[in-house]
Structure 1
Amino acid sequence: MPQPASPAPPASSSRRWEIDALRGLMLVLMTLTHLPTRLTTPLGQPFGFVSAAEGFVLLSAYMAGLVYGRLAWRKSVPEMERAFWKRALKVYWCQAATLGFLFTVIAFIGIKHEQTAVTDLMSFYLQRPLVALVSALMLIYEPPLLDILPLYVLFMLLSPWVLALALRHGWAPVMATSALLWLLAQFGLGEWIYNGTSALIPMPVPFHETGSFATYGWQLLWMLGLWMGASRNDPKAKPFTFPNWALVAAVFVGVTCMVWRHKVGQAPFEADEKLNMLFDKWLLGPLRLLDLIALTILTIRFGPALTKRLPRQHYLETLGKASLPVFCAHLVVVLLTLSFFGARFDRPWWQDTLLLIACFGALYGVARLTLWIDKPPEDEGREPRPGRLQGR
């Protein structure tokens, strides 16, 4: 049933440029992590035991909640659903195109040059090409580096139902369910479901080839961002504020993890695998999640003041505005580099410098071309206008 909404603030005339800049920064950090150079290790997880992937997913979910949630308020829930599905389909075709590039061009070059970095990455495809191709298009087989977009597609497909439910009944049951799934993921929920499914339907794809990211763990990050973004559309929503004790705790956790990471490296407990699981990236381990929450609190609290004092980073904004094609382009650059040069981290500095200049120049070119061809949605990233949440 329709639910009335109070008048919202007037619409802004500009995009949320700071969000675009943050997304652009995440893309730069992901590229530096994936592209094999001397900067890969020192710039991997530079802010603590949190990678750019977490920031990218959280920001993407925030923007999804902000933009598509506004459609539910200003137009209707079915309109919001159609927009979500349209975006999910676009992401799917990007994933399919990237897979096609990997299975043809990269496979040919990698095999010809005998690059183990490539043949290892797509070993299952080289063993069972037809099964790999079909299962990859079904988002079951997910080669390394190409396992983020399938996660994004799945979350986008689930988001309309989740968002409609939350708009009518509140976010408490959604977040409670999400937190429970995340907790079960820490104990192997994904593998349990895979084994149970395999007992009923033979699965030709091994579990370790179904993607590195634990879907039931990372969905918590998406739901958190979706809630944060969608909540901004409620005219009665208050700004995010935190008590002093939370800010003190966030500073302590954030600084400790950052110093710790640069002191000992990206494995917090070095060779102790059990303790390292507390910071595990693929499961979104509890201490990793704690570090991410701390950094998020600090960004929300101090970010606005910093944006007023720092010069705008137009390069990062441009990358962030075209985040999907730039993300795909960075995969193409990384795969070509691995195919021709392998996973070498000992090249001379001048070669790494030329490689990085060419890489980021190409990404910027892709972003500019995309923004020129495909104009962004009219109201993306703007403040909500007066409206009502329309039911079915």
Structure 2
Amino acid sequence: MKRYWEIDALRGLMLVLMTFTHLPTRFTDPLGQPFGFVSAAEGFVLLSAFVAGLVYTRISDRQGVDAMRRAFWRRALKVYLAQAATLLFLFTVITRVGLRIDQPAVKNLLAFYLTNPIEGFGYSLLLVYEPALLDILPMYIFFMLMSPWVLAFALRHGWTVVMVASAALWGLAQFEFSEWLYGLAVQYLHLPVPFREMGAFNAFAWQFLWFAGLWLGASRHAPDAEPIRFPKWLVALAVGAALYGLWWRHHGINGQAPFGGDEAMNLLFDKWQLGPLRIVNLVVLGIVTVHFGPSLMRRLPRLHALEAMGSASLPVFCAHLVAVLLVLAFYGDSQTVRPWWGDVLLLVVVFAWLYGVAQATLWWDGRRRSRAAATAMPARSTARPDPPAAPAARR
């Protein structure tokens, strides 16, 4: 199946930006939300959903809905195993190092687990307890488990009902729907995990972004799909809004908090709730990217390092978590504990590690495909040919 190198490069870029954001260095704040009040997480989720819509719609068309469901579930299982492995690394290596050197950053990160190790371990495997930094993959698993049913319904009945329901659920999420469900879980299931330990991302809000990307990807599968084009006036409006958001983010007096200490207004741009103005900022950036991206890609050299990381996005994402957790364990969460050259050296080492993981993953995948092809070839060559047809009887 054809890979879209442009999508891989963009996903690789999102992983690079995530690494800059999560590693505590002097580059964290300047490169956090670099294009406005939108982070790399939104871009990564949207691109992943787009690819999922494109790939799994193709599987549904060629092999049927049941094959599409099985493919989704296999991917969800793979992501779950990656999450479980990362949790095991956190609860063993990072916990031991953090306690050995009395690292406050690790103690804060693992506060619930250190107080309730059995409940913390068990509920983390159930994807209920989600320590900071390890709360993205559980949300992704939730989306992957929901997607086969949603995609099958949409392919049969259209996307209107799906997106209206998704938008309604996003709206409920803005008014403490998650907190209400949590209260029911505590009341009837006696859930011991505090709400703040269940991940920063509100999955009921972020599902809107996922299903929007799934819809876009599915719509691109059709062989007669026309390129997405926008009216000139809309492009001009999007460019103006994107530039204003960029200026506001980097030259405003409040940095990444658009309205300073006004918490009510900041909710409009809130990352964890996926606030409405944040969606607007993402949409205008998307319009600009779709309109100018193809011509820009034709002029730029292909960025093979970003493509490699985007192609191996799951292992690279987990590798970036390993690097961030190790830095937190040894250095803490201070952004100024090292000199500037120490930060540069640290970033060089981390990105070399991520690129190495990407290359190793692609090499292993290529070797596995070669083995599968080599195994299949003898089976075809040793199959007995059909006997020649008997000559027709003469009349």
In the alignment, the residues of structure 2 paired with residue 322 and residue 296 of structure 1 have an alpha-carbon distance, to the nearest angstrom, of 23
Residue matched to 1:250:
238
Q: Does 1:355 align with 2:346?
A: yes
Q: Which has the larger radius of gyration?
A: 2
Q: Does 1:335 align with 2:319?
A: no
Instruction: Please state how far the C-alpha of 1:252 moved relative to its aligned partner.
Output: 2.0
Structure 1 runs of 4+ off > 3 angstroms? 375-378
In the alignment, the residues of structure 1 paired with residue 265 and residue 67 of structure 2 have an alpha-carbon distance, to the nearest angstrom, of 46
Please say if residues 33 and 43 of structure 1, whose CA atoms lie closer than 8 Å, have aligned partners that are also in contact: yes
Q: Select which of 263, 275, 287 maps to 1:273.
A: 263
Residue matched to 1:127:
115
Q: Does 1:320 align with 2:282?
A: no
Please say if residues 73 and 233 of structure 1, whose CA atoms lie closer than 8 Å, have aligned partners that are also in contact: no
Q: Does 1:25 align with 2:13?
A: yes
In the alignment, the residues of structure 2 paired with residue 78 and residue 87 of structure 1 have an alpha-carbon distance, to the nearest angstrom, of 14
In the alignment, the residues of structure 1 paired with residue 199 and residue 177 of structure 2 have an alpha-carbon distance, to the nearest angstrom, of 14
Q: Does 1:238 align with 2:226?
A: yes
Instruction: Please state how far the C-alpha of 1:376 moved relative to its aligned partner.
Output: 10
TM-score by length of 2: 0.91
Residue matched to 1:143:
131
RMSD (Å) for aligned C-alpha atoms:
1.3
Instruction: Please state how far the C-alpha of 1:204 moved relative to its aligned partner.
Output: 0.8
Residue matched to 2:159:
171
In the alignment, the residues of structure 1 paired with residue 181 and residue 323 of structure 2 have an alpha-carbon distance, to the nearest angstrom, of 35
In the alignment, the residues of structure 2 paired with residue 161 and residue 316 of structure 1 have an alpha-carbon distance, to the nearest angstrom, of 32
Q: 1:377 to 1:306 in 2, by over 3 A?
A: farther
Pairs within 5 Å for 1:85-104: 85-104=73-92
In the alignment, the residues of structure 1 paired with residue 94 and residue 360 of structure 2 have an alpha-carbon distance, to the nearest angstrom, of 24
Q: 1:376 to 1:137 in 2, by over 3 A?
A: farther
Residue matched to 2:144:
156
Residue matched to 2:173:
185
Give the number of equivalent residue pairs. 366
In the alignment, the residues of structure 2 paired with residue 142 and residue 83 of structure 1 have an alpha-carbon distance, to the nearest angstrom, of 26
In the alignment, the residues of structure 2 paired with residue 184 and residue 294 of structure 1 have an alpha-carbon distance, to the nearest angstrom, of 24
Q: 1:123 to 1:260 in 2, by over 3 A?
A: same
Residue matched to 1:44:
32
Q: Point out the more displaced range, 73-82 or 248-257.
A: 248-257
Greater relative CO (CA pairs within 8 A, separation 6+): 1
Please say if residues 330 and 363 of structure 1, whose CA atoms lie closer than 8 Å, have aligned partners that are also in contact: yes
Q: Does 1:345 align with 2:335?
A: yes
TM-score by length of 1: 0.91
Q: What are the Cα deviations for residues 135-164 of structure 1, in whole angstroms up to 9, with x where unaligned?
A: 000000000000000000000010000000
Please say if residues 260 and 268 of structure 1, whose CA atoms lie closer than 8 Å, have aligned partners that are also in contact: yes
In the alignment, the residues of structure 1 paired with residue 310 and residue 15 of structure 2 have an alpha-carbon distance, to the nearest angstrom, of 8
Residue matched to 1:383:
none
Overall identity of the aligned pairs, in %: 60
In the alignment, the residues of structure 1 paired with residue 198 and residue 152 of structure 2 have an alpha-carbon distance, to the nearest angstrom, of 29
Instruction: Please state how far the C-alpha of 1:377 moved relative to its aligned partner.
Output: 11
Instruction: Please state how far the C-alpha of 1:350 moved relative to its aligned partner.
Output: 1.4
